[in-house]
Amino acid sequence: MVFLPLFAFVAVLPCALSLVTSRPRQGVDFFNPTGNGGSMLDDAGNGLGEPLNVIISGLSSPGVLTESGFENYAKAIGFSTECLGIHIGGPQSANLGDGNGFVNQTVELRQDYGDSVLGTCLESLIGGNHLRLYIQNGPEADSGALFLAVSKEEDASDNHDIVPDGYDIGRDELSAAAIGTTSFDGVTYSTTGTNLTGLLAPGSAGVNHDIATDGITTLLTVIIV
């Protein structure tokens, strides 16, 4: 009898602490940006945009849904920061309908060809997969989801244009590398994927480089195990 109140207190304490320390999210995969003035195309600065063709669900482990957490995950699936920190091309922005309006990409990552330090230099030369990250974290739609514009690029001589069908190919190559069990720097991830239609229109209307897509967005849920 005497121990019961103490026991109850100890059981409740971790819950109370987590309410204080973690930001409340809304417990959804993501909010459709178009529902609140946003778009599933980013803004390439020329009136056109790249499709946001991969979403990392807001129901993923919170440790994945930050810039540094995502960068570690990206390294586990074959991407890394740009060659020696050298950035090629201007930033693109996106409006995720979360109340933040247009926000520049948080980070741009490139396929690292198995070397997270120098491999992206190779990508800059020979082309490869490439992504821009936007985080849906504004006050009006705080899902925490990560929206990625993924595309496969030509080599440097082609001025980093997208290969034919490069949006769909980039999305599918990233998803194929991500789904299943991966790890980097001591963190192991379990990723599941599902294809969504109806977010992006199939075709090339409004799409940068006039490259048509199949209109599919792949939703990935990433759990740290």
Ligand X SMILES: *[C@@H]1O[C@H](CO)[C@@H](O)[C@H](O)[C@H]1NC(C)=O
Q: Which residue, 78, 144, 139, 155, is CA-closest to 106?
A: 144
Tokens representing 19 are: 């309410």
Start-to-end C-alpha separation, the chain: 38
In the DSSP assignment, the letter for residue 157 is: G
Q: Which of 32, 93, 183, 190 binds ligand X (CB under 6 A)?
A: 93
Q: Which residue, 19, 15, 52, is CA-closest to 34?
A: 52
User: What's the closest the beta carbon of residue 168 comes to ligand X, in angstroms?
Assistant: 7
State which residue, 119 or 178, has the beta carbon closest to ligand X: 178
Q: Which of 195, 202, 203, 210 binds ligand X (CB under 6 A)?
A: 195
Asked if 181 interacts with ligand X (CB under 6 A), we say no
Residues in 20-39 at the binding interface with ligand X, rule: CB under 6 A = none
Pairing of strands 180-184, 146-153: unpaired
Q: Which of 193, 196, 201, 204 binds ligand X (CB under 6 A)?
A: 193
State which residue, 106 or 218, has the beta carbon closest to ligand X: 218
User: What's the closest the beta carbon of residue 224 comes to ligand X, in angstroms?
Assistant: 20
* Contact range with ligand X by CB under 6 A, out of 13-21, 129-137, 155-163, 192-200: 192-200
Going residue by residue from 102 to 121, which x/- string records binding to ligand X, judged by CB under 6 A?
x-x-----------------
Contacts of 61 (CB under 8 A, 6+ apart): 222, 223, 224
Question: Between vectors from CA 200 to CA 95 and to CA 103, what angle results, nearest 5°?
Answer: 15
State which residue, 193 or 206, has the beta carbon closest to ligand X: 193
Q: Which of 106, 218, 221, 222 binds ligand X (CB under 6 A)?
A: 218
Say if residues 76 and 183 touch (Cβ distance below 8 Å): yes
Q: What are phi and psi of 132, to 5 degrees?
A: -120, 140
Say if residues 189 and 23 touch (Cβ distance below 8 Å): no
Distance separating alpha carbons of residues 108 and 92, to the nearest angstrom: 10
User: What's the closest the beta carbon of residue 28 comes to ligand X, in angstroms?
Assistant: 19
In the bound state, the residue with its beta carbon closest to ligand X is 193
Residues in 161-180 at the binding interface with ligand X, rule: CB under 6 A = 172, 175
Which residues of the chain form contacts with ligand X (CB under 6 A)? 91, 93, 102, 104, 172, 175, 193-195, 216, 218
